[in-house]
Structure 1
Amino acid sequence: MNFMHRDEEIDYFPSRYDPARHAEQYPIPPVRLSGKRDKCVIEKENNFKQPGERYRSWAPDRQERFITRIVGALSDPRVTHEVRSIWVSYWSQADKSLGQKIASRLNVKPSY
C-alpha cells in the first residue's frame, strides 16, 4: 500500500474542522455499585519523548535520510502551510534540532 499516493483528501475524524459529536443519552442501568473511590494525580503524557530518543539514537547519515524523507513528504503541493507548520511543531517537540532542520528546508518558521 502506497501511502504517498493520494487521489483524494484524507478524512481525519474528529478534526478541528469536524469536531466529535456526543452520543445520544444512554439509559443508566439500575445496578448499584459499591467500593472505594480514589482521587489521584495522573502525570501528563509526553508523547514526543520516545520518538526523540529514537531519532537521537540513529547515526548521522540515517538522521539525514530521515529528514530528507520527511521534507519530501511535506513538500507535496497538496500539503497546506498549516499542516506543514503542525508537523514541524510535532518534530520540534520530539527533538529541537530535528524540527529546526526540517523547518529550514521547508522555509517554515518553527514554533515551540
Structure 2
Amino acid sequence: MDSGVWSIRVCSVSRGITVFIVQMFYCRRISVLAPTYYKYLAVGMVPLILSELGFSIAAAVEAFIVGTFTGWERKAWIDGAALAIVMVADIIVAATMVIILYKSRTGIKR
C-alpha cells in the first residue's frame, strides 16, 4: 500500500488556495489601512503569493503523476518551496500589520 488516496494528493492544492485567499485578504487590509508606501509592499507581495499558489498546484499535479509515496520523495521539494514562500509572506504581512497598527495609535488610554 505505497499509493495514497486522492484526498492526500489534493491536500497541497487545497492548502494553497486557502493560503492564497487569506494572504490576499491581508494584503487588501494593508492597502486600505496603510499610507502609500505600504501599498506598494502589498502590491509587491502579489507575485510572491501567486508563486506559492503555483507551487501548490504543481505539487498536486506531481502527486498524481508520481502516484506513490516512495516516488514522491524526489518531488517533495516542491511542497517545501511552497511552504517556505508561505512563511516568508506571512512574516512580511505580520510585520507590516504590526508596524501600521503601532503607528496608528491615538494615545487614548481606554
Q: What's the TM-score once normalised by structure 2's chain length?
A: 0.25
Q: Which has the higher helix share?
A: 2
Identify the structure with bigger relative contact order (alpha carbons < 8 Å, sequence gap 6+): 2
Larger Rg: 1
Q: What's the TM-score once normalised by structure 1's chain length?
A: 0.25
